Protein backbone atom coordinates (compact mmCIF):
# COMPACT_ATOMS: atom_id res chain seq x y z
CA UNK A 1 0.00 0.00 0.00
CA UNK A 2 1.17 3.48 -0.86
CA UNK A 3 1.44 5.45 2.38
CA UNK A 4 2.45 8.48 0.31
CA UNK A 5 -0.59 8.63 -1.97
CA UNK A 6 -1.10 12.38 -2.56
CA UNK A 7 -4.76 12.25 -1.49
CA UNK A 8 -3.76 10.46 1.70
CA UNK A 9 -1.11 12.93 2.82
CA UNK A 10 -2.16 16.37 1.56
CA UNK A 11 -3.56 19.18 3.72
CA UNK A 12 -7.19 18.31 3.01
CA UNK A 13 -6.60 14.69 4.00
CA UNK A 14 -5.02 15.74 7.28
CA UNK A 15 -8.03 17.92 8.06
CA UNK A 16 -10.52 15.19 7.17
CA UNK A 17 -8.65 12.61 9.25
CA UNK A 18 -8.93 14.91 12.26
CA UNK A 19 -12.65 15.41 11.56
CA UNK A 20 -13.23 11.66 11.35
CA UNK A 21 -11.55 11.28 14.74
CA UNK A 22 -13.68 14.10 16.18
CA UNK A 23 -16.90 12.51 14.90
CA UNK A 24 -15.68 9.21 16.35
CA UNK A 25 -15.28 10.86 19.75
CA UNK A 26 -18.81 12.26 19.57
CA UNK A 27 -20.25 8.91 18.53
CA UNK A 28 -18.48 7.18 21.42
CA UNK A 29 -19.25 9.88 24.01
CA UNK A 30 -22.96 9.85 23.11
CA UNK A 31 -23.07 6.08 23.56
CA UNK A 32 -23.80 5.47 19.89
CA UNK A 33 -20.96 2.93 19.50
CA UNK A 34 -19.73 0.59 22.22
CA UNK A 35 -16.20 -0.82 22.17
CA UNK A 36 -15.14 -1.04 18.50
CA UNK A 37 -18.64 -0.56 17.01
CA UNK A 38 -19.39 1.83 14.16
CA UNK A 39 -17.52 3.23 11.18
CA UNK A 40 -17.04 6.60 9.49
CA UNK A 41 -15.98 7.55 5.97
CA UNK A 42 -15.38 10.54 3.71
CA UNK A 43 -14.98 10.61 -0.07
CA UNK A 44 -11.88 12.67 -0.74
CA UNK A 45 -11.40 11.93 -4.45
CA UNK A 46 -13.19 10.51 -7.46
CA UNK A 47 -12.14 6.99 -6.48
CA UNK A 48 -10.64 7.53 -3.01
CA UNK A 49 -12.36 7.32 0.37
CA UNK A 50 -10.89 7.89 3.83
CA UNK A 51 -12.35 5.63 6.52
CA UNK A 52 -11.99 4.44 10.08
CA UNK A 53 -10.09 1.18 10.60
CA UNK A 54 -11.48 -2.08 11.91
CA UNK A 55 -11.23 -3.19 15.54
CA UNK A 56 -10.72 0.23 17.09
CA UNK A 57 -12.76 2.23 19.58
CA UNK A 58 -14.11 5.27 17.76
CA UNK A 59 -13.60 7.42 20.83
CA UNK A 60 -9.83 6.97 20.81
CA UNK A 61 -8.82 7.18 17.16
CA UNK A 62 -5.86 9.24 15.99
CA UNK A 63 -5.36 10.63 12.47
CA UNK A 64 -2.59 8.06 11.95
CA UNK A 65 -5.20 5.29 12.31
CA UNK A 66 -7.29 6.38 9.32
CA UNK A 67 -7.20 4.29 6.13
CA UNK A 68 -7.89 5.00 2.47
CA UNK A 69 -9.76 2.70 0.08
CA UNK A 70 -11.00 2.80 -3.49
CA UNK A 71 -14.68 2.63 -4.41
CA UNK A 72 -14.47 -1.15 -4.69
CA UNK A 73 -13.17 -1.50 -1.14
CA UNK A 74 -9.54 -2.18 -1.97
CA UNK A 75 -7.22 -0.60 0.56
CA UNK A 76 -4.93 2.05 -0.91
CA UNK A 77 -3.20 3.38 2.20
CA UNK A 78 -3.10 3.16 5.98
CA UNK A 79 -1.16 1.17 8.55
CA UNK A 80 -4.33 -0.46 9.88
CA UNK A 81 -6.92 -2.56 8.06
CA UNK A 82 -9.99 -0.71 6.82
CA UNK A 83 -13.39 -1.22 8.44
CA UNK A 84 -15.13 -4.49 7.59
CA UNK A 85 -18.36 -2.65 6.73
CA UNK A 86 -16.87 -0.25 4.18
CA UNK A 87 -19.00 -1.71 1.36
CA UNK A 88 -22.08 -0.14 2.96
CA UNK A 89 -20.45 3.29 2.75
CA UNK A 90 -19.18 2.78 -0.79
CA UNK A 91 -22.54 1.53 -2.05
CA UNK A 92 -24.19 4.69 -0.74
CA UNK A 93 -21.55 6.86 -2.41
CA UNK A 94 -21.88 5.05 -5.74
CA UNK A 95 -25.65 5.51 -5.83
CA UNK A 96 -25.55 9.04 -4.44
CA UNK A 97 -22.71 11.05 -6.02
CA UNK A 98 -23.73 14.03 -3.89
CA UNK A 99 -22.80 12.15 -0.71
CA UNK A 100 -19.32 12.77 0.67
CA UNK A 101 -19.64 11.50 4.25
CA UNK A 102 -21.21 8.43 5.87
CA UNK A 103 -21.63 7.60 9.57
CA UNK A 104 -22.77 4.14 10.68
CA UNK A 105 -23.29 3.35 14.35
CA UNK A 106 -25.70 1.83 16.87
CA UNK A 107 -27.50 4.67 18.70
CA UNK A 108 -29.48 2.80 21.37
CA UNK A 109 -32.91 4.43 21.06
CA UNK A 110 -33.00 4.31 17.27
CA UNK A 111 -31.58 0.78 17.35
CA UNK A 112 -34.41 -0.21 19.70
CA UNK A 113 -36.80 0.64 16.84
CA UNK A 114 -34.55 -1.38 14.52
CA UNK A 115 -34.76 -4.43 16.79
CA UNK A 116 -38.52 -4.05 17.30
CA UNK A 117 -38.97 -3.38 13.55
CA UNK A 118 -41.21 -0.51 14.57
CA UNK A 119 -42.05 2.29 12.14
CA UNK A 120 -40.87 5.75 13.22
CA UNK A 121 -44.04 7.85 13.68
CA UNK A 122 -44.44 10.97 11.56
CA UNK A 123 -46.39 14.19 12.16
CA UNK A 124 -45.28 14.39 15.78
CA UNK A 125 -42.27 16.70 16.14
CA UNK A 126 -41.64 19.78 13.93
CA UNK A 127 -37.86 19.32 13.65
CA UNK A 128 -38.25 15.74 12.43
CA UNK A 129 -40.84 16.69 9.82
CA UNK A 130 -38.74 19.54 8.46
CA UNK A 131 -35.22 18.13 8.65
CA UNK A 132 -35.74 14.37 8.32
CA UNK A 133 -39.15 13.17 7.21
CA UNK A 134 -39.92 9.48 7.00
CA UNK A 135 -37.06 7.19 8.05
CA UNK A 136 -37.12 3.82 6.26
CA UNK A 137 -36.08 0.48 7.78
CA UNK A 138 -33.81 -1.51 5.48
CA UNK A 139 -34.25 -5.30 5.72
CA UNK A 140 -31.79 -7.34 7.77
CA UNK A 141 -28.74 -8.98 6.23
CA UNK A 142 -25.56 -10.30 7.81
CA UNK A 143 -23.20 -7.30 8.11
CA UNK A 144 -20.05 -6.89 6.08
CA UNK A 145 -20.77 -8.20 2.59
CA UNK A 146 -22.25 -6.68 -0.54
CA UNK A 147 -25.65 -8.24 0.16
CA UNK A 148 -25.74 -6.28 3.40
CA UNK A 149 -24.70 -3.08 1.63
CA UNK A 150 -27.37 -3.55 -1.03
CA UNK A 151 -30.20 -3.56 1.53
CA UNK A 152 -30.15 0.25 1.60
CA UNK A 153 -30.21 0.77 -2.17
CA UNK A 154 -34.03 0.87 -2.64
CA UNK A 155 -34.26 3.75 -0.16
CA UNK A 156 -31.28 5.93 -1.08
CA UNK A 157 -33.00 8.19 -3.57
CA UNK A 158 -35.32 9.82 -1.05
CA UNK A 159 -33.54 9.93 2.31
CA UNK A 160 -30.22 10.62 4.05
CA UNK A 161 -30.98 8.48 7.10
CA UNK A 162 -31.79 4.76 7.20
CA UNK A 163 -32.42 2.38 10.07
CA UNK A 164 -30.78 -1.01 9.56
CA UNK A 165 -33.13 -3.69 10.88
CA UNK A 166 -31.73 -5.57 13.90
CA UNK A 167 -28.48 -3.63 13.55
CA UNK A 168 -28.26 0.16 13.84
CA UNK A 169 -28.39 3.27 11.66
CA UNK A 170 -26.57 4.84 8.75
CA UNK A 171 -26.73 8.53 7.89
CA UNK A 172 -24.96 10.49 5.19
CA UNK A 173 -24.54 13.92 3.66
CA UNK A 174 -22.17 16.43 2.14
CA UNK A 175 -20.10 16.80 5.32
CA UNK A 176 -19.15 14.63 8.28
CA UNK A 177 -20.94 17.08 10.57
CA UNK A 178 -24.17 16.78 8.58
CA UNK A 179 -24.01 12.99 8.49
CA UNK A 180 -23.40 12.83 12.24
CA UNK A 181 -26.09 15.23 13.37
CA UNK A 182 -28.75 13.32 11.44
CA UNK A 183 -27.89 10.34 13.63
CA UNK A 184 -28.04 12.46 16.77
CA UNK A 185 -31.39 14.01 15.83
CA UNK A 186 -32.87 10.60 15.03
CA UNK A 187 -31.76 9.04 18.30
CA UNK A 188 -33.01 12.01 20.31
CA UNK A 189 -36.40 11.69 18.60
CA UNK A 190 -36.57 7.95 19.25
CA UNK A 191 -35.77 8.60 22.91
CA UNK A 192 -38.58 11.16 23.09
CA UNK A 193 -40.97 8.63 21.56
CA UNK A 194 -40.00 5.95 24.07
CA UNK A 195 -40.40 8.39 26.98
CA UNK A 196 -43.74 9.61 25.64
CA UNK A 197 -45.00 6.04 25.51
CA UNK A 198 -44.13 5.68 29.19
CA UNK A 199 -46.31 8.74 29.84
CA UNK A 200 -49.24 7.30 27.94
CA UNK A 201 -48.52 7.75 24.24
CA UNK A 202 -47.87 10.31 21.53
CA UNK A 203 -50.12 13.01 20.13
CA UNK A 204 -50.13 13.45 16.37
CA UNK A 205 -50.35 16.89 14.81
CA UNK A 206 -53.58 17.67 12.98
CA UNK A 207 -53.75 17.86 9.21
CA UNK A 208 -53.43 21.64 9.00
CA UNK A 209 -50.31 21.78 11.18
CA UNK A 210 -48.76 18.81 9.37
CA UNK A 211 -49.28 20.56 6.04
CA UNK A 212 -47.84 23.78 7.43
CA UNK A 213 -44.64 21.96 8.38
CA UNK A 214 -44.30 20.44 4.93
CA UNK A 215 -44.92 23.86 3.42
CA UNK A 216 -42.13 25.20 5.61
CA UNK A 217 -39.88 22.35 4.53
CA UNK A 218 -40.54 23.09 0.87
CA UNK A 219 -39.87 26.79 1.37
CA UNK A 220 -36.55 26.05 3.09
CA UNK A 221 -35.48 24.05 0.05
CA UNK A 222 -35.49 20.57 1.60
CA UNK A 223 -36.87 17.70 -0.45
CA UNK A 224 -39.37 15.11 0.76
CA UNK A 225 -40.92 12.10 -1.01
CA UNK A 226 -44.34 13.45 -0.08
CA UNK A 227 -43.75 16.35 -2.48
CA UNK A 228 -43.71 13.95 -5.44
CA UNK A 229 -46.01 11.02 -4.67
CA UNK A 230 -49.75 11.14 -5.34
CA UNK A 231 -50.62 8.07 -3.29
CA UNK A 232 -48.71 8.95 -0.17
CA UNK A 233 -50.47 9.57 3.13
CA UNK A 234 -49.43 12.74 4.87
CA UNK A 235 -48.49 10.93 8.10
CA UNK A 236 -48.88 7.27 7.21
CA UNK A 237 -45.26 6.14 6.69
CA UNK A 238 -46.06 5.34 3.07
CA UNK A 239 -43.36 7.25 1.17
CA UNK A 240 -41.14 4.18 0.75
CA UNK A 241 -43.72 1.61 -0.35
CA UNK A 242 -41.96 1.09 -3.67
CA UNK A 243 -38.65 0.73 -1.84
CA UNK A 244 -40.01 -2.02 0.37
CA UNK A 245 -41.41 -3.78 -2.70
CA UNK A 246 -38.05 -3.56 -4.45
CA UNK A 247 -36.32 -4.89 -1.34
CA UNK A 248 -38.94 -7.64 -1.02
CA UNK A 249 -39.36 -6.56 2.58
CA UNK A 250 -42.53 -5.98 4.59
CA UNK A 251 -43.44 -2.40 5.38
CA UNK A 252 -42.75 -1.62 9.05
CA UNK A 253 -45.86 -1.22 11.16
CA UNK A 254 -46.77 1.08 14.02
CA UNK A 255 -47.42 -1.34 16.88
CA UNK A 256 -46.09 0.39 19.99
CA UNK A 257 -48.09 3.57 19.36
CA UNK A 258 -51.54 4.54 18.20
CA UNK A 259 -51.76 4.32 14.39
CA UNK A 260 -51.21 7.65 12.64
CA UNK A 261 -54.24 9.61 11.46
CA UNK A 262 -55.27 9.17 7.85
CA UNK A 263 -54.76 12.45 6.01
CA UNK A 264 -54.68 12.96 2.22
CA UNK A 265 -51.25 13.22 0.65
CA UNK A 266 -49.50 16.56 0.34
CA UNK A 267 -50.34 16.75 -3.37
CA UNK A 268 -54.04 16.21 -2.73
CA UNK A 269 -56.59 18.76 -1.48
CA UNK A 270 -56.78 18.96 2.32
CA UNK A 271 -59.57 16.96 3.90
CA UNK A 272 -60.54 20.12 5.77
CA UNK A 273 -61.47 21.75 2.47
CA UNK A 274 -58.95 24.61 2.60
CA UNK A 275 -57.55 25.27 -0.86
CA UNK A 276 -54.62 27.54 -0.22
CA UNK A 277 -51.00 26.71 0.34
CA UNK A 278 -50.01 26.45 3.99
CA UNK A 279 -49.01 29.75 5.51
CA UNK A 280 -45.44 29.72 6.69
CA UNK A 281 -44.89 30.93 10.23
CA UNK A 282 -41.74 33.05 10.07
CA UNK A 283 -41.13 32.69 13.81
CA UNK A 284 -41.26 28.91 13.43
CA UNK A 285 -38.79 29.08 10.53
CA UNK A 286 -36.36 31.10 12.65
CA UNK A 287 -36.78 28.92 15.74
CA UNK A 288 -36.08 25.69 13.86
CA UNK A 289 -33.17 27.25 11.96
CA UNK A 290 -31.63 28.43 15.24
CA UNK A 291 -31.91 24.93 16.71
CA UNK A 292 -30.20 23.36 13.70
CA UNK A 293 -27.37 25.90 13.74
CA UNK A 294 -26.88 25.27 17.45
CA UNK A 295 -26.70 21.52 16.80
CA UNK A 296 -24.15 22.03 14.02
CA UNK A 297 -21.94 24.03 16.37
CA UNK A 298 -21.90 21.02 18.68
CA 202 to chain centre: 22
For residue 250, count other CB atoms closer than 10 A to its CB: 10
Q: Are 56 and 36 in contact (CB under 8 A)?
A: yes
85 is catalytic: yes
User: Looking at the chain, which runs of residues are DSSP E strands?
Assistant: 39-43, 48-51, 67-70, 75-77, 101-105, 137-138, 161-164, 168-173
Annotate 44-65 with b (16+ C-beta within 10 A) or e (fewer).
bbeebbbbbbeebebbebeeeb
Sign for the CA dihedral angle at 71, 75, 80, 83 comes to: positive
CA separation for the pair 22, 43 (Å, rounded): 17
Q: Is 139 helix (H, G, I), strand (E, B) or coil?
A: coil
- Partnered with residue 137 across adjacent β-strands are 163
Closest CA to 109 of 27, 201, 186: 186
Please pick, among 19, 85, 177, 184, the residue that the annotation labels catalytic.
85
Task: Write out the catalytic residue numbers.
Answer: 85
Amino acid sequence: MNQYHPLFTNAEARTIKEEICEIGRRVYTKGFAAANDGNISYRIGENEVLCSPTMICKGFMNPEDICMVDLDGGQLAGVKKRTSEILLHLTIMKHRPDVKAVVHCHPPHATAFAVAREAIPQCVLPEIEVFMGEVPLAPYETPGGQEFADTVVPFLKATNTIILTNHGTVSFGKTLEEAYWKTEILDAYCRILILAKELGGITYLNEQKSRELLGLKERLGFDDPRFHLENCDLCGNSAFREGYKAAEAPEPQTCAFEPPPSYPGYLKPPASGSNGSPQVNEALVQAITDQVLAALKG
